Structure 1
Amino acid sequence: MSQRDLTEDEIRQYQQDGVVCVRNAVDPEWVEKLIAFGKHQLDNPGELCNDANPGAEKGRMFTDRYLWRSNDLVYQYAKNSGCARLSAQAMQSQTSRFYFDHLLIKKAETATPTPWHQDIPYWPFRGKQIASIWLALTPVTVAGSGLEFVKGSHKDDVFYLPEAFGASGVKKNTWTGTGEGIPCPDIEAAREDYDIAGFDLQPGDALLFSAWTLHGSAGNQSTTQDRIAFSTRWLGDDAIWDPRPGTDPSVNPEEVRVKPGCYPADNAIFPEFYTV
Structure 2
Amino acid sequence: MSHRNLSSAEIAQYQKDGVVCVRNAVDPSWIEKLAAFGQYQIDNPSQLANDANPGQKTGRMFTDRYLWRSNDLVYRYAKDSGCARLAAQAMQSKSSRFYFDHLLIKTTQSNTPTPWHQDVPYWPFRGKQIASIWLALTPVTLEGSGLEFVRGSNNDNVFYLPEAFGTSDKNANIGWTGKGEGVPCPDIEADRDSFDIISYELQPGDALIFSAWTLHGAPGNKSASQDRLAFSTRWLGDDAIWDPRPGTDPSVNVSEVRVQPGQYPNDNAIFPEFYYEE
* TM-score normalised per structure 1: 0.98
SS of equivalent to 1:33: helix
Q: Distance in 2 between matches of 1:121 and 1:244?
A: 10
Find the aligned partners of 1:208 and 1:88 in 2 and give their Cα distance.
Answer: 11
**Equivalence for 1:195:** 196
Matched residue type, 2:124: P
Q: Distance in 2 between matches of 1:107 and 1:12?
A: 34
- The offset of 1:54, in angstroms, is 1.9
Superposed CA offset, 1:188-229 (max 9, x none): 111100111001000000000000000000000100000000
In structure 2, C-alpha distance between the alignment counterparts of 1:167 and 1:202, rounded to whole Å: 28
Which residue of structure 2 lines up, in the alignment, with residue 140 of structure 1?
140
Give the deviation of 1:56 after TM superposition. 0.6
SS at match of 2:85: helix
Q: 1:210 — aligned with what?
A: 211
Paired residues of 2:22 and 2:209 also in contact (CA < 8 A) = yes
Partner residue in 2 for 1:250: 251
Aligned counterparts, 1:166-177, within 5 A: 166-167=166-167, 173-177=174-178
Distance 1:227 1:170 in 2: 22
Shift of 1:80: 0.3
Partner of 1:228: 229
8 Å CA contact 2:48–2:170 kept in 1: the answer is: no
Number of residue pairs the alignment of both structures matches: 276
Give 2:129's aligned residue. 129
1:73 has 2:73 as partner: yes
Corresponding residue number in structure 2 for 1:162: 162
Q: Is the 8 A contact 2:154 2:213 kept in 1?
A: yes
C-alpha separation in 2, matches of 1:53 and 1:182: 30
CA distance in 1, matches of 2:276, 2:51: 36
- 1:266 corresponds in structure 2 to 267
Q: Which amino acid aligns with 1:58?
A: T
Q: 2:182 maps to which residue?
A: 181
In the TM superposition, what is the alpha-carbon distance from 1:55 to its structure 2 partner?
2.0
After TM superposition, the score normalised by the length of structure 2 is 0.98
The corresponding residue for 2:36 is 36
- Structure 1, 219-228 or 52-61: larger mean CA deviation: 52-61
The residue type paired with residue 184 of structure 2 is: P
Deviation for aligned residue 1:52: 1.6
Q: CA deviation at 1:168?
A: 5.3
- Distance, in Å, in 1 between the alignment partners of 2:59 and 2:144 is 13
Q: d(CA) in 1 for partners of 2:211 and 2:164? A: 20
Q: Which amino acid aligns with 2:22?
A: V
Is 1:120 equivalent to 2:81 in the alignment? no
d(CA) in 2 for partners of 1:199, 1:4 = 20
Give unmatched runs, 5+ long, in structure 2: none
Q: Aligned to 1:188, what secondary structure does the other structure show?
A: helix
Matches within 5 A, 1:73-112: 73-112=73-112
Which segments of 5 or more consecutive residues in structure 1 lack a partner in the other structure? none
Query: What's the Cα RMSD here?
Result: 1.0
Corresponding position of 1:20: 20
Is 1:45 paired with 2:50?
Answer: no
